[in-house]
Amino acid sequence: MARPIRELSTEHAPDAHSQSDELDPACIAAEVEPNAVAYPVVAEKAEWSEVITLYDRQHFMTYARLLSAEREGINWRDGVREILRQDPDKDPRQARICWESHLERARWIATEGLQLAVARANAQ
């Protein structure tokens, strides 16, 4: 699995209900090494919404990695450490909440969320 190049921001993740289409500055790395992967800041808990949010769009790759880890049977502690960059040894309860909420959001996006987005786009 890819490693983040560095912690991009110490700020909180963007508000999941934000209507802005601007990228979160935490998603943009100023100096990027060749073949390095920059990850957006991960919220402690994925917020729920009935639409795909800016936070979701910024985390599509994170969600794909979570679904892949689940399919491969990766232990949640390893997954939360590698994918969500949370320390399950430091705060196991919070790390588990982070893992479960993001995995639930990833499942919703992969099933209902994308279908709703396509239906709404076709209706316009």
pLDDT (tens digit, 9 = 90+) per residue, 19-76? Answer: 444 544 444 444 445 655 567 899 999 999 999 999 999 999 999 999 999 999 999 9
Q: What is the CA radius of gyration of the chain?
A: 15
Return the bridge partners of 4, or none: 37
Q: Is residue 103's pLDDT more than 80?
A: yes
CB 60 within 8 A of CB 116: no
